[in-house]
Amino acid sequence: MVPLWADFRTALGQPEYLHVLLNPLPIYGLATAVVGFVAAWISGRRAAQMITLLLIAGTAAAVWPVAYFGHQGYDRVYSLSDDAAQKWLNWHEHLGDQVVWLYSVAAAAALLTAVILIRRPGRYRFLFSLTLAATLVALAGGALMGFVGGKIRHSEFRDHAPPAWANTSDNS
């Protein structure tokens, strides 16, 4: 039992492992929260609306540690990857730098809507729509990023080449 625990502790010290461990949370968490959000919106139940808005904000904000550990593990994954995987990794990181802001907008929209819902209960319909739109855009970006990320370590998913501009190892 001790070697397994030691392996687990070692893995938790590897940022690329933590990235892979955490990366489903913003995507699956946000997708689940948005389903609840739509149901709460239709039902008109204020408590359910508040809970789902906070779930949207929390799961969308979870993109930040995922991005952090992804950046920290980039060099190790790059060095262990073949040429094609390196190109997919570059594209994945580029998308990640963009998608993190989409998730941040979704989190901010959800928090703003929650505050307005508390302070001015009758003025939230537009913000509900804005939150839903921001969340769906973030989910689309996250799905694309996950699609590209899956191609890094799974050559069987590579049915075409990454974009030509992904040929650089510059990850700035």
Q: What is the pLDDT of residues 74-106, one digit of tens each?
A: 888 888 888 888 888 888 898 899 999 999 999
Contacts made by residues 72-78, CB under 8 angstroms, sequence distance 24+: 72/15, 72/16, 72/19, 73/14, 73/15, 73/16, 73/17, 73/18, 73/19, 74/171, 76/14, 76/15, 76/16, 77/16, 77/152, 77/153, 78/169, 78/171
How large is the average pLDDT for residues 118-129? 80
pLDDT of amino acid 163? 72
pLDDT of amino acid 8? 54
Which range has the worst mean pLDDT, 95-99, 133-137, 157-161? 157-161
Distance CA 64, CA 62 (A): 5
pLDDT confidence bin for 172, thresholds 50/70/90: very low
Closest by alpha carbon to 63, among 137, 138, 131, 114? 138
Question: Please, what's the b/e burial string for 80-107 (b: 16 or more CB within 10 A of its CB; e: otherwise)?
Answer: eeeeebbbbbbbbbbbbeebbebbbbbb
| pTM of the predicted model as reported, rounded to 2 decimal places | 0.84
Which helix (H) or strand (E) segment is 157 a member of? none
In this model, does residue 171 exceed pLDDT 50?
no
Distance CA 10, CA 14 (A): 7
Q: What is the pLDDT of residues 2-46, one digit of tens each?
A: 565 555 556 567 888 888 888 999 999 999 999 999 999 999 898
53 burial type by CB count under 10 A (0-12 exposed, 13-18 middle, 19+ buried): buried
pLDDT of amino acid 131? 95
How large is the average pLDDT for residues 36-64? 95
Distance CA 58, CA 158 (A): 32
How large is the average pLDDT for residues 58-83? 91
Q: What is the pLDDT of residues 137-156, one digit of tens each?
A: 999 999 998 888 888 877 77
pLDDT of amino acid 99? 94
